[in-house]
Amino acid sequence: MADEGGWGPWLPGNEEALLLLTAAIGEAGYAPGGQVSIALDVAATHFYRGGRYHLTSEKRSLSSGEMVALLAGWCERFPVVSIEDGLAEDDWEGWVELTGRLGRVQLVGDDLFTTNGERLRRGMESGAANAVLVKMNQIGTLTETLDVCRQARAGGYRAVISARSGETEDSFLADLATATGAGQIKIGSVTRSERLAKYNRLLELEAWEGLPFTGKL
C-alpha cells in the first residue's frame, strides 16, 4: 500500500498494470474510455540516468524517442487520457516531441514545472506539455499558487490541484480546486483518512452548489 493509499502489486512489467486496470473497469460494469479512463503518473525523472530511461523491472533502457513511442503505444491500446511526468524534468526536447505526438492526451508537468511560473513559461514557449500539476506547498505561498493557476489558464494549459506526501486531514485543497475552477484534483485513495477528508469536502461543496447566497456562512 503506497503512502497515498494506492495498491501496488508486484507485476512482471508496466503494461500488465494497464491490462489489469482496463479489465477491472469492464468487470465493474463500466465502459473503458467511455465512463472510466486511466491517468498515469510515470514519474520518469526517477528512472532517468545518463540520457536514458531505465525500466529496471523489464531489464531494458530507452532513449527519449523510444520512451515517447512506448507512451504513444499505450495510449493507442488502452483508455489512457492523462499522463503525468511521462519524461524527465530536464528532458525538454523529449517533452516537445511527446507533446507534438500526443497533444490530444492531457500531458501534465509535475517535476517538469514544480508549480514554478518560470518553468511553466518555458514550457509554454517551447510547446512542452499542456497541463500543470499545482502543489501549494511546493511553490510556498497561496499567492504564487494562484498566479500559476492564472498563468496556466491564460496560456491554455489545464491545472490539476494536487496533494502531496505527508498530508493532514486539512481539506483546503478541495476548496482551492473549486475556487480556481481547475476542474481536476489529485488527492489519493479513500483508504487514507487524510485523503478521504478532501473527498468529503468536495461532496459538501457539491451539495452547496446552486443554493442561494444569503450573505451568511
Q: How far apart are CA 102 and CA 114, in angstroms?
A: 21
> Over the range 117-150, which residues count as b (16 or more CB within 10 Å of their CB) and which as e?
bebbeebbeeebbbbbbbbbebbeeeeebeebbe
Annotated active-site residue in 4, 84, 89, 97: 4
All three cell numbers of 199? 473527498
How big is the CA angle at 52 (ends 51 and 53), to the nearest 5 degrees? Answer: 140
Active site residue 4: yes
Decide if 102 contacts 94 (C-beta within 8 A). Answer: no
144 is catalytic: no
Single out the catalytic residue among 84, 97, 135, 198.
Answer: 135
Q: How far apart are CA 67 and CA 94, in angstroms?
A: 9
Residue 60's H or E segment, with its range, is: strand 60-62
Q: Whats the size of the chain, residue-wise?
A: 217
- Residues labelled catalytic: 4, 135
